[in-house]
Amino acid sequence: MESKTCCWICNKIADSAEHRIKKSDLVNLYGSGSYKGENSVVLIRGGQESKVQGPNSKIVKYKKNLCSKCNNEFSQPFDKSYEHFITYIRQNKDLILKRRFIDFQDVYDDEFEVSQRNLYKYFVKSLGCRLANDGYPIPKDLPALLPKKQFRTRLRITFAVSEDLLLSTEIKTAGKGNLKTFAPGSETRPTWLEKWQAKKQGRTGPLEYQWSENFEWLYVWYWYNIIPHGNLGSTWIADSRYVYLGSYEIVSDEEKQKIV
């Protein structure tokens, strides 16, 4: 039997499951389904491949960790801002890549101040659902900022271009990176010994998280309580008209020669 989980935003009973990969992203990339034959879509997680039947398939959803009010009504403006942002990214790829910055006024017109904040809140929702799905502690500032106009938070976001994915016109991806957690001040995951020592010494400092998600060539990097890596773009906390894009590359030039 499934145990009752609480909505990580409002603490009521969670009866709603957020998409891991946003439904609109799946439809944008692969159509409305079903994903069969030539249109087949594969989800790769932990090295395992699973077939996705359609954009509402259970395997592209998290466990139920929101209440339906928070997942629908409350966060609808956040979802809408994200969908609008992705439409803009798809329609203005050449311009964005030439400038290597995004001007939110271009994206949202004069509503950009509110809309860029709603976009940021969409990313907070995305991270919160990821953490809740695997039982990671959710920093209190994340749900607390969602209803607010002005807030303080330890979550910074940066945007970067995946130079590898830019090269490929064949591969269409949307996905989430591995979640990395760090003990405060450490470069690596805490070992059980470090956790035990920290607990014994009463050190329960805030956790640090690093995560990423991508829509095609655009990567969104999450830095919770960590200073962002400068290569991966300018820091944004819903407080700016412009974001400057970083550059992300894992395939070396030598390896690319072999592929092309």
Q: Which of 9, 132, 157, 245 binds Zn ion (CB under 5 A)?
A: 9
Q: Which of 21, 26, 52, 70 binds Zn ion (CB under 5 A)?
A: 70
Nearest distance, CB of residue 9 and Zn ion, angstroms: 5
# chain residues binding Zn ion, by CB under 5 A: 5
Residue 141 to residue 151: CA distance in whole angstroms:
9
Nearest distance, CB of residue 11 and Zn ion, angstroms: 7
Comparing CB distances to Zn ion, the nearer of 5 and 24 is 5
**Cβ–Cβ < 8 Å for 217, 162:** yes
7 touches Zn ion by CB under 5 A: yes
**Cβ–Cβ < 8 Å for 190, 214:** no
Span interacting with Zn ion, options 3-11, 28-36, 77-85, 239-247, rule CB under 5 A: 3-11
Comparing CB distances to Zn ion, the nearer of 44 and 144 is 144
Residue 224 to residue 240: CA distance in whole angstroms:
18
Span interacting with Zn ion, options 10-18, 85-93, 125-133, 157-165, rule CB under 5 A: 10-18
**Cβ–Cβ < 8 Å for 129, 18:** yes
Comparing CB distances to Zn ion, the nearer of 74 and 248 is 74
Nearest distance, CB of residue 14 and Zn ion, angstroms: 7
Q: Which of 60, 67, 127, 183 binds Zn ion (CB under 5 A)?
A: 67
**Quick count: other Cβ atoms within 10 Å of Cβ 175?**
14
The helix or strand, by DSSP H or E, that contains position 256, with its residue range, turns out to be helix 253-259
* 3-state percent helix, strand, coil for the chain, nearest multiple of 5: 40, 20, 40
Strand pairing of 208-215 and 174-176?
antiparallel
**Cβ–Cβ < 8 Å for 172, 217:** no
Q: Which of 5, 6, 10, 182 binds Zn ion (CB under 5 A)?
A: 10
Residues that bind Zn ion (CB under 5 A): 7, 9-10, 67, 70
